Amino acid sequence: MFDLPAYDAHEKVVDVNDPETGLKAIIAIHSTARGPAAGGCRLWTYAGPSEARTDALRLSRGMSYKNAMADLPFGGGKAVIMGPVEPQNREAVFAAFGRAVDSLGGQYITAEDVGVGVADMMVVARETKYVSGLAKAKGQVGGDPSPFTARGVRIGIEAAVKARLNRDSLEGLRVAVQGLGNVGGYLCEELYERGAKLIVADINAARAEEMIDRFGAEVVDVKDILTIEADVVAPCALGGIITPEIAENLRAGIVAGAANNQLSVPDAGAVLQRRGVLYAPDYVINAGGIIAVSAEYHGESNLAAIDAQIEAIGPRLHDIFDRARKEHRLTQDVADTLARAKMVRV
């Protein structure tokens, strides 16, 4: 594990194997410098344990940076459950996962991520208190954090549009949204309400067709969405999709989306910069969800305060864009520097 490129001095990596339920999971704790490691649980069918471990390592590191940049009292962690999980066994698997989380004694706080929903977290909550993203109680924040993530991404897109195109509105801009899961769907709604013209793609063709009826979107093949002519490309599926080759062939001036770890390698960011494409660092722009999860976990109910934290994503990105331009640096390098400076014991 220590030789894996994704390893970054992680504090703890736990392999979970529960023969009774068939649960196979990896919980990666990158840093607890700012507080307990917080990050969602992803259910995915990986090619094998090595791919799953790499994903957990990369995602947990990203959570450390995300939580630091959002000024949250959390370190970074992530869990991945290796699928597939049979429907009739799902409850037992998530109960076993909850027990695994509980065994860490609060070092890791979980929530939903790709492939995992509120119902799954409610099962986890029967086994541990170290969980968020639960069904919303009256007067409280809770439930699916995707709308908060999407709102933050929309705010980030507006910041990038101002910085790159010097426009104060999304009216008439072509935005290509890759991935129409919970966050991608909510993002389409946010963009449509502000007059953007949507181009969408998803591996679920029916989901993509739904966007035609709801938002008058143009549907394209998933293999074409990233390089289609647009003002903004918004990756909202899995990570690692902006490769150097894709970066060379982009026909948009901005990359700003909800996906984690969008750049397959750091060199992809260098290609974007050389071509004049503005990249909004993913863990900065997609922090709206963890902001809501943090509020829920700490029992906060002041929606205005939560909205203010999410609105701060815009100025935060403007600062990164300005520094990158003045210092002739990549936007992701500037963000990394700022995040590392915040990753201290608080």
Report the candidate in 149, 172, 330 with the shortest Cα–Cα distance to residue 236. 149
**Total H helices, total E strands in the chain:** 13, 12
Q: How far apart are CA 9 and CA 3, in angstroms?
A: 11
CA angle 269–191–172, rounded 5-degree value: 90
Cis peptide bond upstream of 266, omega within 30: no
Answer yes or no: are the C-beta atoms of 232 and 174 closer than 8 Å. yes
Do the beta carbons of residue 175 and residue 230 sit within 8 Å?
yes
Reply yes or no on whether 223 is catalytic: no
**3-class DSSP assignment, residue 20:** coil
The CA distance from 169 to 231, in Å, is 12
- Active-site residue, from 66, 78, 138, 326: 78
Residue numbers annotated as active site? 78
